[in-house]
Amino acid sequence: MKSFSFVSLGCDKNLVDSEVVIGKLLSSEYTKITSPEAADLIVINTCCFIDEAIQETEFWIDRLVQIKRDNPGKTLVVMGCYPQRYGKQLSSKYPEVDFWIGVNDFPFINEILTQKAPNQVFINKPLYLYDESTERLLSTPSHYAYVKITEGCNHRCSYCVIPSIRGKQRSRQINSIQKEALQLVDQGVKEIILIGQDIGHFGLDWSGKKELANLLHALDHSLPNRTWIRLLYLSPDSIDNRLIETIAASEKICKYLDVPLQHVHPLILQNMNRSSNIKKTLENLNTLRQTIPDLFLRTTMMVGFPGETDAIFNQMVSVIKSFRFERLGCFIYSPQSGTPASQLTYQVEDEIKQARYQNIMKIQKKIANDFHRSLVGKTLEVILDQGPLPKKPSIFLGRTYGDAPDVDGHIKVKVNKNSKTIRSGDILRVTVSKSTAYDLEGIYS
């Protein structure tokens, strides 16, 4: 039996694609191993969203190409966003790569691998959408899984390459998602994480209206108790009263929403080709907070977009200080070739971008520290990710309902009951005993 090694870069949506390919290969003649040096087949799933992602992708391709040079006879496959974006020009740049596979063609990897000619390119219009019957091997811990409910994006943010790579939004059917979620629960998954470029507009392509509330209603009524449903990535203009009411009424949907704002100044938002009515957006977010007690709101801001003056940046700072998001991430704008924003005048100098980024993160650290301090003494639902820790049989690491995997912090849980009955994936009610800016400690007794 042949062996393969897999490298997966980029976001959680990319990770699902990687899991599909791994499932496809395992259903064929391959077995998975860790070492690319020892594998017959090496596959890398790439990312090229921003400059840092491109640099990481090219670093890995260079490394894997060298492994192939040192170990002739291997097959090297580069798949995903990087070949979809740059296409056939990559063939001459990396002649050692056997197959370039875009975001539409990776499900056919077993068929592609039967081709004999070297350096082939399989890049077609992105139309693919997986369903509950697709082979897939989870690479996350066994108690949580990402479920991609949409693919592509209909927004045309001026700085973003995703629509040109992933295509227009395609939404899965509710019954398909429901079946997959139930299959995952049967495998032991306790946290279903719904993802897409903008899940708030789920269903708009086949229904003509937003269907996320209907999907959540279906999942809420079909999944067993003590299951978490987490929502990632809703555009600000996708949140309506019905969605808010659905989240508020459910005991399974995590009171946690990731709503990337990117900026707060109307001129910058207009040049980003995003909704520029920031007043209405903040009013909607305040309604969320008022309607859903103990809600954790996460957002993302971008600094250094063309035309961002000191005064405009200071307005962002003012909103961050006054609104006090429970969770906030920040990106430094990097111009991407082929995007409208890369052609804008008044590009911000790199040193200024870096200083603004550091400023935002310093402010958010203070906000997060104050917020976490306010949680001390409160009892929160926590899912255990790891434990017991080595030589500490009563200590586990977990996440509150307000913490998504990888992007947020964790809580160290001391179990005062019989810890032998506790395991990863358990959902406990934990009393917070100590806090730092990004992590917590708590007691389960």
Binding-site positions: 11, 47, 81, 153, 157, 160
* Phi-psi domain of 15 (left: phi exceeds 0; alpha: psi -120 through 50; beta: other): alpha
Rounded Cα distance between 409 and 423, Å, is 20
Report the run of H or E that residue 329 belongs to, with start and end: strand 327-332
User: Residue positions in the annotated binding site for [4Fe-4S] cluster?
Assistant: 11, 47, 81, 153, 157, 160
Rounded Cα distance between 230 and 127, Å, is 26
| Residue 413 near residue 384, CB atoms below 8 Å | yes
Tokens of 301: 């801001």
DSSP 345: S
DSSP 134: S
Q: Is the CA virtual torsion 162, 164, 167, 168 positive or negative?
A: positive
> Residue 302 burial (CB < 10 Å; 0-12/13-18/19+)?
buried
Rounded Cα distance between 100 and 61, Å, is 12
Nearest partner of 296 among 393, 149, 411, 210, judged by Cα = 411
Q: Which residues of 350-373 are buried (b: 16+ CB within 10 A; e: fewer)?
A: eeebeebbebbeebbeebbeebbe
Other C-beta atoms lying within 10 Å of the C-beta of residue 241: 11
Please name the residues in contact with 99: beta carbons below 8 A apart, sequence gap of 6 or more: 75, 76, 77, 78, 79, 112, 113, 115, 119, 120, 121, 122
